[in-house]
Structure 1
Amino acid sequence: MNELYRVLETTKQNVHQWVRRQQSKEVHQEQLCELISQLRVDHPRMGGKNLYKKISPSFMGRDRFLGWYRESGFMLAPKRNFRRTTDSSGVIRFPNLMEGMELTHVNQAWVSDITYYELNGKFAYLTLIMDAYSRKIKGYQISKTLRAEDTTVPALRMALKCLPKGAKPIFHSDGGGQYYCKQFIALTHKQFQNSMGKTAYENPKAERLNRTIKNDYLYGYHPVTFKELENKAAKAVKMYNQEKPHQSLGGLTPDHFEQNQILTKTNFKTVNSI
């Protein structure tokens, strides 16, 4: 063996140290695999960057982690949505107040949209309302129909419980009829400034939230009954608000970000992407 060490221009000590490093590396990687598996129980489609922020391994930097993440087969195939659930038709009932607006604080603007979820050959519908600044979901509703009384109205009633006294946010949506029917306007006319875009392209934050909740959570939870879908939607909203870090929020979750805003009164200024 000494002759082999000499040929390789190394020492027995160096070889033993290398073996120990390899063994330690294997243990660390096994630990990472276990942690990722645990996180994906609640966050089935959480990507590599957010997994790194949640785990924060002291023995591995971000770039090395992402390289290992790809090589280990943890990458997720993208999902795409095609079906529209609101009828925009180019009709504007309210002006677009969000265009080019600088977002500076919580409850400055809320955004909303309706998306579908296919369940045993039929469609259920998910209505979401989110604070455009903090990304926190304020209200949601799972329904079997697209009627306003089953979608936007109950979602808004839930969200109103989070609205501080005296706040009057912009409420932005696309031109869907569920957002300008009498029942809905009766809830918004005193407490919100109604805003609408002509198309989904003028409501990008809400559209992005739809994709996140469906693709990153609901499809991973695999609900098979309407009751299960209701329960899994509630879990998805909780996981999103309380545990999902956002790069746009400095790596914080929506809940944590809002709490920091209240405690520090420090605002991150962002320009709306419309």
Structure 2
Amino acid sequence: MCKVLKVSSSGYYYWCKHPVSIRQLKQAQLLDDIRQVHTQSESRYGSPRIADELRERGVKVSRNRVARLMRKAAIRSIMYKKYRVQTTDSSHSYPVAKNLLNREFMADKPGQKWVSDITYIPTGEGWLYLTTVLDLADRKVIGWALSDGLKAADTSIAAWHMALKNRNIEGKLLFHSDRGVQYACTEFRDQLRGLPVVQSMSRKGNCWDNAVAESFFKTFKSELVNHTDFPTRAAARLATFEYIEGWYNRRRRHSSLNYQTPAQQESYFYTSQMAA
């Protein structure tokens, strides 16, 4: 038997005398479940999100236990690189709006408060610029645009148009951004004219007035850009589309949403609205 199994006789007899306990079997199964969720998240999830995902699948487990098993098995999230905040050019002569948002990053329902910003993606062909619009109610990216340059038509205006197609304005909308020329210029302000929209801008040099938009970019960079070399702008465009529409909006659990996804939170709002 030992020769067939290619094990030592002492090891075989030890196994016979010390069979694997039910607890060990359950722990091994849990570790397999953890690895599966970790792999499905493309190594983006840490213990809190993995634990919440497992509980939604019917597995009774605490975050502490998941964290303990992950440490023991050397399973870690790729979310570890520091993010350096980058701001758009605010050296212009256009009028600047007051900071009406005032770091009030909560909204009662979708369509009340939107935040927007622009970031940079390096590729083998040069920079690609990503502009996003997020709704503070469910943290969903409701509008976004990718461009080779920083013209307002290709950045802030393009993302704004997508946001309007994807979501209705409820009452009066507060639209917040930094002081970048793409948001302060006449071309962008013309897009808001005639709509129930009030513009708000961060204070000079204070990127944390737009913390939610910056937080999305931190996550985007940490989970995708910092770990990927894009040979072309086309490759970066495809990866960004898959990240925003396939992962972030629909599947990624958000700590500020009690570890629900933006899609789940959006569904909750509209289900509650229909029941009212």
Match of 1:235 in 2: 242
Range with bigger deviation, 217-226 or 200-209: 217-226
CA distances 1:174-231 after superposition (whole Å, capped 9, x unpaired): 1000001122111123322111012312111111111112222344455332111111
Match of 1:250 in 2: 258
Match of 2:217 among 189, 203, 210: 210
Match of 1:32 in 2: 34
Question: Residue 78 of structure 1: CA displacement?
Answer: 1.8
Distance 1:216 1:100, change over 3 A: closer
Q: Which runs of 5+ in 1 are unaligned?
A: 1-12, 267-274
CA distances 1:96-121 after superposition (whole Å, capped 9, x unpaired): 11015463221111001101111127
Distance 1:189 1:62, change over 3 A: same
Question: For 1:100 and 1:165, how far apart are their aligned partners in 2?
Answer: 20
Distance 1:15 1:153, change over 3 A: same
Task: Within 5 Å, give how 1:82-161 maps onto structure 2.
Answer: 82=84, 84-88=86-90, 93-99=96-102, 101=104, 103-120=107-124, 122-161=126-165
Match of 1:5 in 2: none
Range with bigger deviation, 249-258 or 68-77: 68-77
Question: For 1:83 and 1:35, how far apart are their aligned partners in 2?
Answer: 30
Question: For 1:112 and 1:81, how far apart are their aligned partners in 2?
Answer: 18
Distance 1:201 1:259, change over 3 A: same
Match of 1:73 in 2: 74
Taking structure 1 as the reference length, the TM-score comes to 0.81
Number of residue pairs aligned between Structure 1 and Structure 2: 251
Question: Residue 90 of structure 1: CA displacement?
Answer: 10
Percentage of pairs with the same residue: 27
C-alpha contact (below 8 Å) 2:121/2:128 kept by paired residues:
yes
Secondary structure, aligned partner of 2:132: strand
Structure 2 residue identity aligned to 1:237: I
Distance 1:224 1:46, change over 3 A: farther
Match of 2:54 in 1: 55
Range with bigger deviation, 156-165 or 71-80: 71-80
Match of 1:272 in 2: none
CA distances 1:244-270 after superposition (whole Å, capped 9, x unpaired): 11232232211111111111149xxxx
Structure 2 residue identity aligned to 1:95: K
C-alpha contact (below 8 Å) 1:45/1:220 kept by paired residues:
no
Match of 2:13 in 1: none
C-alpha contact (below 8 Å) 1:85/1:116 kept by paired residues:
no
Match of 2:8 in 1: none
Question: For 1:121 and 1:78, how far apart are their aligned partners in 2?
Answer: 27
Structure 2 residue identity aligned to 1:131: D
Question: Residue 170 of structure 1: CA displacement?
Answer: 0.7
Question: For 2:171 and 2:17, how far apart are their aligned partners in 1?
Answer: 66
Structure 1 residue identity aligned to 2:253: P
Distance 1:71 1:194, change over 3 A: same
Distance 1:165 1:207, change over 3 A: closer
Secondary structure, aligned partner of 1:242: coil
Match of 1:194 among 180, 190, 199: 199
CA distances 1:126-164 after superposition (whole Å, capped 9, x unpaired): 111100121011111111111112211111111110232
Distance 1:100 1:139, change over 3 A: closer
Distance 1:14 1:265, change over 3 A: farther
Asked whether 1:178 is paired with 2:182, we answer: yes
Structure 2 residue identity aligned to 1:84: Q
Match of 1:9 in 2: none
